[in-house]
Structures are given as structure tokens and as C-alpha cells.
A and B are shown apart, each in its own frame.
Chain A
């Protein structure tokens, strides 16, 4: 029952957000970038359901237009982390030896930086633009993926069916691709779902600090950051983008919990 609720609630909110983001590519109620000084700071009403900002831009349209960049950057960051992390984790877990020791040393060092600090440091090198943010977040999350992948590969490669595949004369690469990797997917899927949440949170935080995509392009984080100037006159500017981020995060967490219960029954109920 709880399992179905998690998946259903998380899945439906994510579906709504995804549909809003896709719709915004072709249609929004108003132009999210058009300035209009006659409609400045209008409270939520029939013409503008979520109100307007200090440049008279429709907040709902901007929220829809911001969903794409916010989720897109998070998704690309997670894919980057998965690509780097899985490759390194498999190499070090399957072949062990010096690549393994080297990887463990490097991930130890990277994990000694607290949370978002690593992303901030990487962003200082890469620059605060789309590619920089994706790479910074991807590199910051990669050590965790590598660690989990390595652990899973190590436990799977000792199983009998892997020995059997080798004994049948299959090559190492074939054994790895056909027998080891498919059995390592479940923890990675679970991790990737929670990582989407971390990535959205980190991307919004960076945008909030002014280190994300540059305005006027809307992201949920930079909308929230810009709302601070007019917060007392126009509280809706601070409320709706934050609500969008929080609801999406909650949905991703529920989806992650649901998937974990589904794919990894040992973790159920914890």
C-alpha cells in the first residue's frame, strides 16, 4: 500500500512537472521574457494566476520555462556522474590492483570536501555557465557513484555464475557486460533517482547564489534569488518558485523510496 503510494504520488508530480516543462517549449500563457511596465508586481489573479514580477513578466510562464533548464541541468549532471562513476567503479571493482587503490585514494580526497563545497570549488575552475554547472555537479557526485558501483561489482564478481561464464570460455569483457553489469543495475537506479533530487537542490542553490544560469533565462533558483528584493511587496515571487522546487524534490524522494523498496527488498521499511 505504502509502496504504491510512494510511486504513484512521486510519479504523478514528476509527470506534471515534465509535462509543464515540455509544454513550455512550444507554449506558455504569456511570453516568459517579455517586459511590460503596466503589469509590474501584480498579485495572483485571473490574468496572471501566480502574479507577475518586477518587470511585469508572468510568473506562471516563467516557472514553466524554468522547469526545463532546472530539470535538464540536473538530469545532465546525473548522467555525467553516472558515466564517470560507473566506468571508474567497474574498472576498479572488476580488475582491482593499482587502479582500484588509486581510485579509492582520489574518491577519499574528494569526499573529504563537504557537500556543495566541492561543486563550488569545481565551478570556480570551470566557470558559471551551463557546461560548467553540469560538469561541476557531475564531477562532485561521481565519487559516490564510483564507490557504490565498485562495491556492487566486487560482490557480484565473486558469484558462481560469473565463474561459470569464465569457465565456459567467455571473454572477460563479455562476462562483464552480460553477467556482471546487469546485476549491478538496481542499486545504481536507486542512487540515480535520489541523485536527481540532490542535483536539483544543488543547481537551485547555485542559481540562488548567482552562480547558475544568468538572467533573464529563468531557473527556479535564480527566480527565488531575484524575489528577495521585492519580497515584502510581492511575497508570491518567493513562494511559488520555492513551492515548485520543494514539491519536485518531495516527488523525487518519494519516487526514490518507492523504487528502492521495489528493487531492493532488503532495504524495505528502513
Chain B
């Protein structure tokens, strides 16, 4: 068991290193002089030199990378070119906002979709199954940016149930904060339910075909017991992995929902930094979101043996 954990941990080291190299390489891949590009009209020989020095562009590549990595490891991601703020605290603040959207989304979508997909598979070919599959395919074809607009239009504007602009953090006032989160979370849940339900259905179908399920039924066990004790534990693995991938992907694409519902999260920070060519902030956002993605997948793999101890043995 310990061997499995250590192995998974070691596997993620090269990934993290390569992510760091890619993010570091970003600013060096910009065609032309990054300092000139960032400063634009404000460029004078003095400001250019100062910025090149600040970005470390006046040194060799290896030296630059080691210096950058060293700073990053100590939590120093530099300062925003636009506002001069230190980047890590800025990202941390924005991350909390986005995380309050992303985590409940995955939890809710999983709680809704896993039973739905399992029941659809159990009743394969029935009306429930057909409606679930058709509904899931349809929901997957509706992009979040349109679903968000429709939800905003119906529940925010027509019915007036939820506020359409502004944001209150749940750490300041949890009840008011919750009200602002209902529409963005619903938007994402509606989209993700489709994918998770399809995965849960497909993996349950695979397991239902196996001999030991027939055997369990032949022993005279109730359907509920067969489904919960014999089928579910074996079928849940792939869905669990998908939930982790969704959590990471949601954070990567969170800018869309944050734009629709005016939420000041990490996604907006990244898009605004791209507009402003604020490269240190872009690098910081990309690094943090990717590391979050790697960390979530690692965590998912760590918990996996709880459902399926076989992975830890082989």
C-alpha cells in the first residue's frame, strides 16, 4: 500500500517539473522583446532596462530558470506589472472565490449523476434509461456560456429570484454569499451531470455483465444489495477518476462562468492579465491552476484504493 502511494507521488514529480518549465518558457516564447511588448508606448531605454532586470531577461536561460524556480518554491511569484501587487497573495484570494464555486459543483453533480447513471444502467433499455442517456447527451451539447446566459435570463432577470450582478464572499456573509453562488453553481452542475451520468452508466453496465453479479443474484440476494455491495464498488472507480479530472478542468475554464455572473475569481484574473499582457500574473495563474490539477489527480489516486484495493496491490 505504502509502495503505491510513494510510486504515485514520484510519478507526479516529472509532471510538476515539466509544468514549471512550460510556464517559465511562456514569457521566452513571445516573439520579439517581451519587455518592449509589455511596456508598449511607455517604453524608454531606462524603463526597458529596469523591466528586463526585474524579469531576469538579462541573464542566461538556465540561470533565469533556476532563479525563477527558487523564488517560486519560496512562494515568490513576483509582482504584477500592472498594479505592482505581489502575485501569490492575489492568486490565493482569487482562488478561494473560484474554489467556492468549483468544489460544491463537483460534489452536487456527483451526488446527482452517479445514482442516475447507476439506475439507468440497472434498468437498461427502459424509459428511465433512454431519457437519461438522451438528456445527458443533450446537456453535454449545451456550452456552459449559453446555459449560464439562459439561467441568468430566466432566474435572474425574468423571475428575479437571484441578483444578476455583484458578488458577496461567503466568508463575509455566508447567507448572502450563498445566494450569489446558486446560479453559477447550477450552470456548471447542469453541464457536468451529463458527462458523469454517462460514465457511471457505462461502467455499471460493464460490471453488471460479469459472472459474479449473476452469482450474487442466484444466491437470492436482493437487487438493492447486489447493486450497492457488489456492483457499485466495482463500477465507481472510473467515475471517481472522472470527478477529479472535472474538478481540475472546471478551475481551468472557470473564467466563463465568472464572466457571466461577475464573480472576481481566478479565471477573471487570468483573462484580464492576458488582456493587459501582465505576463508574471499569467504565469502565476497558469502555474497555480496546473499544480492544482496535478494535486487533485494525485489525491484522487490516493483515495482510489478505498473503492478498489486491487490498484494498490498490482
Contact = CB atoms under 8 A, between A and B. Distances in A.
Given A123-B274, A246-B141, A270-B202, A114 B249 contact: yes
B141 A125 contact: no
Interface in B130-148: 137-138, 140-143, 145-146
A113 B14 contact: no
A211 B271 contact: yes
B252 A114 contact: yes
Nearest to B260: A228
Interface in A104-151: 105-106, 108-110, 112-117, 120-121, 123-125, 128
B290 A113 contact: yes
Contact of B293 (A110, A114, A224, A227): A114
Interface centre among B22, B29, B146, B274 (most CB of A within 10 A): B146
A109 B149 contact: no
Contacts of B183: none
A70 to B, nearest CB: 12
A250 interface: yes
B11 to A, nearest CB: 10
Interface residues of A, number: 40
B165 to A, nearest CB: 10
Contacts of B6: none
B67 interface: no
Given A112-B18, A209-B259, A270-B202, A227 B149 contact: yes
B152 interface: yes
B29 A109 contact: no
A269 B141 CA distance: 19
A238 B26 contact: no
A253 B251 CA distance: 24
Given A224-B146, A224-B149, A115 B252 contact: yes
B290 A114 contact: yes
A259 B282 CA distance: 39
Interface in B100-126: none
Interface stretch (A21-29, A85-93, A177-185, A200-208): A200-208
A246 B29 CA distance: 35
A38 interface: no
A221 B144 CA distance: 12
B88 interface: no
Interface string A53-65: 0000000000000
A113 B145 contact: no
Interface residues on B, range: 35 or more
B145 A205 contact: yes
Contacts of B19: 109, 112-113
Interface string A210-245: 110000000001001001100110010011001001
B153 A208 contact: no
Contact of A105 (B18, B145, B290): B18
B149 A242 contact: yes
A113 B252 contact: yes
A193 B39 CA distance: 42
Contacts of A17: none
Nearest to B19: A112
Given A121-B286, A228-B149, A232-B157, A109 B22 contact: yes
A245 B146 contact: yes
A113 B23 CA distance: 10
Nearest to A248: B141
Nearest to B198: A270
Interface in A67-104: none
Nearest to B274: A124
A249 interface: yes
B44 interface: no
Contacts of A116: 252-253
Contacts of B157: 231-232, 235
A270 B150 CA distance: 31
B237 interface: no
Interface centre among A116, A125, A221 (most CB of B within 10 A): A125
Interface of A: 105-106, 108-110, 112-117, 120-121, 123-125, 128, 201, 204-205, 208-211, 221, 224, 227-228, 231-232, 235, 238-239, 242, 245-246, 249-250, 253, 270
Interface of B: 14-15, 18-19, 21-23, 26, 29-30, 137-138, 140-143, 145-146, 149-150, 152-153, 157, 202, 248-249, 251-253, 255-256, 259-260, 270-271, 273-275, 277, 279, 282, 286, 289-290, 293-294
14 contacts: A112-B294, A116-B252, A124-B277, A124-B282, A204-B143, A211-B274, A221-B145, A224-B145, A231-B149, A238-B150, A245-B146, A246-B141, A246-B143, A270-B202
A-B complex: 9 closest residue pairs judged by Cβ atoms: A109-B18, A114-B252, A242-B146, A117-B252, A250-B141, A232-B157, A114-B249, A114-B248, A249-B141
